[in-house]
Amino acid sequence: MIHVAVLEDEEIWEQAITELLERYRREEGVPMEVDVYRNAYDLTEKTGKVYDVLLLDIEMAHMTGMEAARQIRERDESVAIIFVTANPRYAIEGYQVQASDYILKPVQYPALRASLKRSLRGVSDRETRYVTISERSGARRVEVSKLRYIESRGHRLTFHLEKETLETTTSSMKEMEELLSGEGFFRISSGCLVNLRFVDSVEGESVRAGEELLPLSRRKRTGFLSALTDYLVR
């Protein structure tokens, strides 16, 4: 399922864009869910959803589509941002948020179709390389390769990345273990799921990941060593 957000405050353009998206969904056979926002604040602050593609009007009251793009890009590196505007002068500014494309109004189907095809080309890859973490401030997509290990603390999970630590509002270790299956992770104890990429050594009943020693369960030891060996020789 492809998740698309449309930010547009004029009804005539909102209707035109959503009709063209429906045409794309129908003709290309792409499962697609589309949400429409009339102001940028609702998109950036009120929703916890994570999108694959954003279609953003730039010139809006209060917060512009460009300002919304900057905020979203800070927490989501992979979302494709397409600006829909009547004024092409914003093209240079869009490089700052790694915009995928610009479509000029009035929006024509060939232009939208070509832009969507380019933007959606890597969505299936992103789904296997990113995991969505629900924080108090909203949802955030994190690159799996940067996730060192996950700890269970009560009814919450703590995600240890290369440069920061994130805590979920609600989630379970079992859910994350299933979600990251096939991505090079191993559950070394009931409360710790480690990325084998960051394992430096096994020291007694502990696994060293950088400067940290993580507890290794006795009953998990044999399976872990086997998984680590397979990972290193593949």
Mean pLDDT by 10 residues, the chain (234 residues): 92 95 92 92 77 90 84 84 79 65 90 90 60 78 88 87 84 86 91 93 90 93 90 70
Pairing of strands 2-7, 32-37: parallel
Task: Tell me the CATH class for 128-233.
Answer: mainly beta
2-121 is classed CATH 2.30.60.10: no
Query: Contact 82/103 with Cβ under 8 angstroms?
Result: yes
Report the pLDDT value the prediction gives residue 154, as an integer from 0 to 100. 76
pLDDT of the residue at 89: 67
- Identify the pLDDT of residue 21: 97
Taking the C-alpha atoms of residue 106 and residue 32, their distance in angstroms, rounded to an integer, is 23
Domain boundaries, the chain: 2-121, 128-233
Kindly list the distances between the CA atom of residue 10 and the CA atoms of 7, 34, 36, 144, 223, in Å, as whole numbers in the listed order.
10, 17, 11, 38, 58
pLDDT given at position 234: 61
